[in-house]
Structures are given as structure tokens and as C-alpha cells.
Amino acid sequence: WDDDFAKELFAVPPEHDGAWLIQNSWGSDLSNSTYIWMPYEEVTYPFTFFLGTEPWFEHIYQYDGGTLVENRSLNQSSARIGNVFTAGGNEEIRAVTLDTNQSVNYALRVYTDPLPDEPDAGTLLAEQTGGIAFPGYYTIRLDDPVPIEKGQTFSVVYDLEGEKPLNISIDTSAVSEEVSTTTFARAGQSFLRTETGAWEDLSADGETNLRIKAFSNDMVFWIEMEPVSVSMKERSVFVSGTTNFAAGREILVTLVCPDGKTLCEPAEVQRGAMTNFWEVRFFPVKLIEEEYALSAMRNEVLAESWFVPEGFTGMLVFGAKGTIIRAG
């Protein structure tokens, strides 16, 4: 390129100096040995591509695979779109993508366990906003990675807002001159909701999907237990711990008493500032100065501990922390 290439050298002078030096593929009879100068302001070929490397991920979730670029034109400047996927393993979603034909502002949300035909009716685990100035395909790193379990459904949903009516990028069967592409879709994969309507299942036609992807890496889940708190006065046992399971999931906590009686309570995982946590209280519990066994389990991930209430004169007695077993 040459920022100082004189605009007067062109048959139709542009407004400013500057041009690209291009080697064309249309034959040697054009210009100087196939090389031509094209002004920066040339509008005949308005497409410019900026490519960059992206971090490597272990898994990709996607439905689009067609070779042609198609659009769903809307008569409004805002809409909500989303894809629903099923986790292939225990993983952590690290990034998602958006393909856009225009500049847009977006609000991104990732849900787990969405309701059928409602990709935004689930447990919200990540959300962030941003803006895209130019058309293109963008990878968006999540500020808060989302843990997913094998077989669990999750959705990637965007609220899009543009200055002009939206053209939603889709993948569908199409023919363009001598090129044709045949695509396949299944109901419940890609959805669109406009300002005035309900969710529309785009993939119900058997061939249309949105160009939304999700990237993930393998993840080993764990559960840990904190020292047990025993209240002799209230005849209760308080059990708590931390985990990297997602907020909203349930951990089954089991207390086995010395007399063989077994108590079970579900503990819902709560979002923490640094690490997710869980807690549960057993009441009433017959307390004697013998060993009690505890376990916390979800999907074959197990933590075990034990304690012996000591000193029956105190209000609160802390049991010893037992062995932790991690499994993934």
C-alpha cells in the first residue's frame, strides 16, 4: 500500500490520496504485469478481512456447516436469538461466537437447563455486554466460564440492537449461481424472538440454524467439606463446603448415625465470590459421643468425612475434618 499515492492518477479520482497495490488474477493484459493500484475509497469491492489467532479450545458446539452466507431480514432493529446445545461431557464453557452482518450492540447470556422452546428460561450462569463495530465473525471470551455436566442442556442467547433493521446470519440450504449447499437441522436447536412475538423455532423446518457456537474445555468436578458444626442444645448438625459445580445444582448430603440411622438432605449450590459453596442442616439428630459418617455426592463425585461430638457441656462443638475424596 501507499498512503501517498496521488488521487489524480485514477480515471475517476477519489476524495483522498492512498491506494492498495494488488496482483489480479484476470490475465496479464491488465495494467502492469497483472499489478494494479486500487484507491482506498474504491466501493466496487467493499469487503476487508482482518484475521487473528484465537485461543485453542478442546470442544466446539455448533450446528452451522453450510458454505453460503444467508440472512434472515427483520423489519426492526432489535431481536433476541439463541442456540440450545447438549453437553457432551463434564466441561467448562470458555467462549461463544457471534456472526453479524452489521454493527450491533449485544447482551450475551448463557443458561443451563432451559425449558423446551424457551432458551432464556433456565438458570442464568453468565452474562455480559459489548458492541461490535464491523460485520464479521467474532469469538467472545466469557468473563465467568460456565460449568456444564455431561448430558446437560445449555443455551447461548443474544439480545441484539442495531442502528438499522437487523439481518440475522443463518445457515440454511441455498443456491447461488453454480454453488449449492444443503443443510440439516433438528427442531429445538435455534430460536428467534422479535419485539412483538414469541420464540420461533427456526430449526423446525429441518434446514435452518443460527451461526452461534460455544467453545469448552474438559473439567474435573470436585466437592470439599468443611469441619462440621454440632449444636448440642439444638440437636443439629451443620454441614457445609465448597465445589466447582454450577450454582443451582444439588448435592446430596448423607449423615449416617452410630445407631445406623441414615439422614439425607439436598444442598443447593450457591454462587460465591471466589468459589461456589453449599450448606445443609440436619435436625433433629440424636447426638452421642461416637463416630458419625458424612458424605456429599453428585454424579459420582464424592466427598467423605466423619466426626465425633465431644464435650457435651458446650453449645457448639466442632467435629474433626475427615478425608476428602475427589472424583471426576
Provide the b/e sequence for 166-176 (b: ≥16 CB within 10 Å). bbbbbbbbbee
Where is pLDDT greater, at 273 or 68?
273
Q: What is the pTM of this model?
A: 0.80
Lowest-confidence pick of 63-67, 240-244, 265-269, 323-327: 323-327
pLDDT at residue 290 is higher than 60: yes
Q: Check residues 327 and 197 and name the one with the higher pLDDT.
A: 197
Match domain 223-318 to its CATH number in 2.50.20.10, 2.60.40.10, 2.170.130.10, 2.60.40.380. Answer: 2.60.40.380
Give me the DSSP letters along 21-76.
EEE-SS-TTSTBTTEEEEETT--SS------------SEEE-----SS-EEEE-SS
The pLDDT of residue 312 is above 80: no
Paired strand residues for 224: 242
Extents of the domains making up the chain: 7-39, 59-218, 223-318
Spatial CB neighbours of 205, under 8 Å, sequence gap ≥ 6: 185
Report which of residues 234 and 327 the model is more confident about.
Answer: 234
Buried b (16+ CB within 10 A) or exposed e, 233-246: eeeebbbbbbbbbb
Q: How far apart are CA 224 and CA 324, in angstroms?
A: 6
CA dist., res. 199 & res. 82, Å (int): 10
Tell me the residue type at 171: D
pLDDT 10s digits, 115-169 = 999 999 999 999 999 999 998 899 999 999 999 999 999 999 999 999 999 999 9
- Percent of the chain whose predicted confidence (pLDDT) is above 90: 72
Q: Could you say which DSSP state residue 245 is in? A: S
Specify the 3-state DSSP secondary structure of 218. strand
CA distances from 38 to 17, 21, 50, 302 (A): 11, 7, 18, 66
55's grid cell: 485461543
Q: Per-residue pLDDT for 30 more than 70?
A: no
Residue 151 forms beta bridges with which residues? none
Mean pLDDT rounded to a whole number for the chain:
89
- As a whole number of angstroms, the distance between CA 56 and CA 304 comes to 36
Q: What nine digits make up the cell of 202?
A: 427456526
Q: Which CATH architecture has domain 59-218?
A: Sandwich (2.60)
Same fold, 59-218 and 223-318: no
Distances (CA, A) of 258 to 63, 136, 297: 54, 64, 20
Give the strand pairing for 229-231 and 262-268.
Answer: unpaired
Q: How far apart are CA 189 and CA 185, in angstroms?
A: 7
DSSP 266: E
User: What is residue 14's predicted lDDT score, i.e. its pLDDT?
Assistant: 93
Please write the tens of the pLDDT for every residue from 231-264: 988 999 999 999 999 999 999 999 999 999 999 9
Q: What is the pLDDT of residue 36?
A: 83
Task: For residue range 55-70, list pLDDT tens digits in order.
Answer: 789 999 999 988 777 8
User: Per-residue pLDDT for 311 more than 90?
Assistant: no
Residue with grid cell 450457591, as numbered in its chain: 270
Residue 197: pLDDT band by 50, 70, 90 thresholds?
Answer: confident
Residue found under cell 457432551: 88
pLDDT in tens, 169-182: 999 998 887 788 89
Q: CA nearest 96: which of 210, 197, 214?
A: 214
> CB of 223 within 8 A of CB of 245?
yes
C-alpha cell at 176: 447461488
Put the strands of the sheet holding 104-112 in their side by side order.
Answer: 123-132, 104-112, 153-162, 78-86, 190-193, 200-201
Give the length of the chain: 328
Give the span between the Cα atoms of 25 and 29, in whole angstroms. Answer: 11
